[in-house]
Structure 1
Amino acid sequence: MNDEDDGVEKNPQKVDAIKGGEVPGCHESSSNDYSEEDMVYSGDDFDSGVESNEKEIDKFPTFDPSGKYKPTFEIGMYFNTKKHFRDAVKEENTFQVREYQPKHKCARTYHVKNANSRWISGKYEGLFRTDPKRSMKGFIKDVVKEIRCKVSRYQAYRAKQEALRNIEGKAEDQYKLLWDYAQELRISNPGSTVILVMEDGEDEDGRKKFVKLYICFDALKQGFMAGCRPIVGVDGCHLKGPHVGILLTAVAIDPNNCLYPLAYAVVSSETRQNWK
């Protein structure tokens, strides 16, 4: 055997098994366990080995990468690359339980990696929907008591924040709807006063920043002029949440000595200018 033959002095079936999966009839052997039958002494012998493997592969279907979003699997199917196989498997929409053992003899562990903050937030989202101010100490006790695994304070905090975000939605997305909300109020309540003030400049996304909002419905105006006492009371309170501000309200007194709402406004601070 000359030097040119060194490049093909190996078992061709073993090489194919590494690249394309285990070929039927091929058995792995160590590097020093080659017999005389394993050697390739000429190009013809090498070609004949490749042809035999190709005939073996032709017996099984080959996956078409163009159909990866609607894959059809068959027994013995070949995939050209690992990526094609993984992409096709990700599109599977059904799973089947092939084996289940309900009774375990192994020792219990309280460190469960799958019980992460995202899973906990989804499981206890209903709890924060009814009690959004649930304390971290009480929440951790509830989780540990029910699922029997350890939960850190940081993990519980992240789970609570994610649950609240899913319940309340992103504040940025809600502020985007203010223009539509103001326009709908004007259309459905003719005569009402709806003032939406935005900053003059725009941000990087070409959007204007919210400044303040004032709303007074026409029905409230007419009711105040028709029967309320000529007294107007004003008050303000702080808004809590990711976007803070001040809620200003104006109320009157009706003939039954009850509070009668007149108007309200959302501003950044309680100043004389905003009250005017």
Structure 2
Amino acid sequence: MVVDELNEGRIGLEEMKVGGIFPNLKVFKNKVKEYAIERKFVFVPVDSKPTKYAVRCKDKSCPFRISGRISLDHVMVKRFVPEHTCSGTMRGNDHPLVTAAWAADTCLGLFPCPGDVRPTLIRAYIKDKWGITISYVKAFNAKIIIHEKMCGNAEASYRILPAYAEEMERCNPGTIMCVYRSRELWTGGDSTFCRLFWSFGPSIRAFSQTIRPLILINGTHLRGKYKGILLAATAVDGDGGLFPLAYAVVENEMYESWL
């Protein structure tokens, strides 16, 4: 049976057999790991070469073995001994093979948007599907990995901010978006993010023409790997409704950042 990565989740554990074909080594390793997690034992690698990958049960007296021959476009199972004579090689409710990365891959499809990802939901799903109780720290790390897969990591997002600001001003006439950077903060001389200010063109035009000349200001703390404060300047329209005028992401609420 030949499978691809898009159908990886559809591969049943019972389909691992001699002659079975997997699209790459990653898919093969994940299915071997799922097999061990479901049966609550731990395996150790015995051979890891460019052309072969093989593991055995951690208990040397147990006959469990599986090996695959690695080719350019697939991995074929060459040997599979599913029998176990040991009573299990793991202790406690957690499983050493259940890493944060594996939990993230397993739970990735459960969440339609990043805001839905919760460590408690990850723990509940792993417990319900695999009978494994993972720690909150491991579930939290899995949440971070899921966020990065869905949204990209924070470092990459900060790097593209200057280009993003230029594109925003080009595509939205009258929009102002400025990225302020601290230069030579580190010994390498690289510039780092300091503050971000933006105001959309329609907001600027409406404020100068029809909005009441009153500005309300406030700030709120940002959550995530890199902290900060989101500042907002809001006006009031003719109906007494709030009208967003300008925003800024700053390090702290202080005179310089508000100015």
Q: CA deviation at 1:113?
A: 5.0
Aligned to 1:86: 49
Alpha carbons 1:109, 1:149 under 8 Å: kept: no
Amino acid at match of 1:255: G
Alpha carbons 2:214, 2:236 under 8 Å: kept: yes
* 3-state SS of paired residue (1:219): helix
Aligned to 1:233: 216
Q: 1:134 aligns with which of 119, 122, 127?
A: 119
Aligned to 2:19: none
Worse-superposed segment, 174-183 or 195-204:
195-204
More helix per residue: 1
Distance in 2 (alpha carbons) for counterparts of 1:252 and 1:123: 46
* 3-state SS of paired residue (1:124): helix
Q: CA deviation at 1:195?
A: 2.0
Alpha carbons 1:211, 1:268 under 8 Å: kept: yes
Structure 2's unaligned 5+ residue stretches are 1-47, 53-69
Aligned to 1:248: 231
Aligned to 1:147: 130
Alpha carbons 2:118, 2:143 under 8 Å: kept: no
Distance in 2 (alpha carbons) for counterparts of 1:221 and 1:156: 44
Larger radius of gyration: 1
- Alignment deviations for residues 69-107 of structure 1 (CA, whole Å, 9 cap, x no partner): xxxxxxxxxxxxxxxx933455542234567799x7867
Amino acid at match of 1:170: N
Distance in 1 (alpha carbons) for counterparts of 2:215 and 2:135: 52
Q: CA deviation at 1:150?
A: 5.0
1:178 aligns with 2:158: no
* 3-state SS of paired residue (1:195): strand
- Alignment deviations for residues 122-174 of structure 1 (CA, whole Å, 9 cap, x no partner): 10123464533333xx6434312211345345544443343333334221111
Identity, % of aligned positions: 26
Q: 1:185 to 1:158 in 2, by over 3 A?
A: closer
1:95 aligns with 2:75: yes
Q: CA deviation at 1:120?
A: 1.7
1:197 aligns with 2:180: yes
How many residues align? The count is 189
Higher relative contact order, chain-length normalized (CA < 8 Å, sep 6+): 2
Distance in 2 (alpha carbons) for counterparts of 1:139 and 1:223: 45
Distance in 1 (alpha carbons) for counterparts of 2:123 and 2:89: 14
Q: CA deviation at 1:116?
A: 3.2
TM-score when scaled to structure 2? 0.61
Distance in 2 (alpha carbons) for counterparts of 1:169 and 1:180: 16
Distance in 1 (alpha carbons) for counterparts of 2:207 and 2:148: 39
TM-score when scaled to structure 1? 0.58
1:265 aligns with 2:248: yes
Structure 1's unaligned 5+ residue stretches are 1-84
1:125 aligns with 2:108: yes
Q: CA deviation at 1:223?
A: 1.1
More strand per residue: 2
* 3-state SS of paired residue (2:207): helix
Aligned to 2:34: none
Q: 2:196 aligns with which of 213, 232, 238?
A: 213
Alpha carbons 2:107, 2:122 under 8 Å: kept: no
Amino acid at match of 2:74: T
* 3-state SS of paired residue (1:201): coil
